[in-house]
Amino acid sequence: MSEGSDPSSADSSPDESRTDAEPSESASERDAGPDDGVPERNAESPQPSPALPFVGAFLTVVVAGLHLLHPSHGLLKLFVILNADPGLLVFDPRSFAFVASGIALLVGLSLSRNAPNRRPYYLAGIALALTYLVGYFAWHFTGHGGFLPGREPLLHGLSPVENVVSHLTTDVWAAVSKATEIALVAVLTVLYRRESSESDR
């Protein structure tokens, strides 16, 4: 061994090369992370809108109010009929149907606020809104309830389809009511499906 050579330098060089390689190796492991290559479900899955239940509640109140406060068949009209002759409801039950269904909507909305399972309330709201829609078109398509006993069809000289279109285009209250009912059915259907999917997880 020649003079000036340091034995420890030969022994320490492999260790130094190993220590130099170790930080790069650990850094790559830190960069990789345990979750690399695994898609995050929470990040990719769409989050439900928290505002949708409030939209459904708002539409429910609007639909109920449109029927309770209807200028021709709402609460005031029902009081007039009951004071005059309740038997008149047999020939035109719209006032009773409007008031009873409007109250039912508000009661169902109040009960659903703290209900552990809101799906029955969603279904009831959907069924009631569809009843409004079907009932309106059936009433005007048959000439103002021509299917009821003691009522003659009244189509104003129009075909059944023309009669329905005429009422929708000339009665703003009815047009707003039908549009709101369709929106309510759509929102409650989305809420029902969302709660059903969450309960199945």
| Domain regions of the chain by residue span | 52-199
- Percent of the chain at pLDDT > 70 equals 68
- Mean pLDDT estimate for the chain: 80
**pTM, 2 dp:** 0.70
Compute how many other C-beta atoms are within 10 angstroms of the C-beta atom of residue 70.
Answer: 21
Reported as a single tens digit per residue, the pLDDT across 97-138 is: 999 999 999 999 999 999 999 999 999 999 999 999 998 888
Whether residue 42 is predicted with pLDDT greater than 50 in this model: the reply is: no
Query: Helices marked H in the chain — which ranges?
Result: 7-32, 41-44, 52-68, 75-84, 94-112, 119-141, 160-170, 172-199
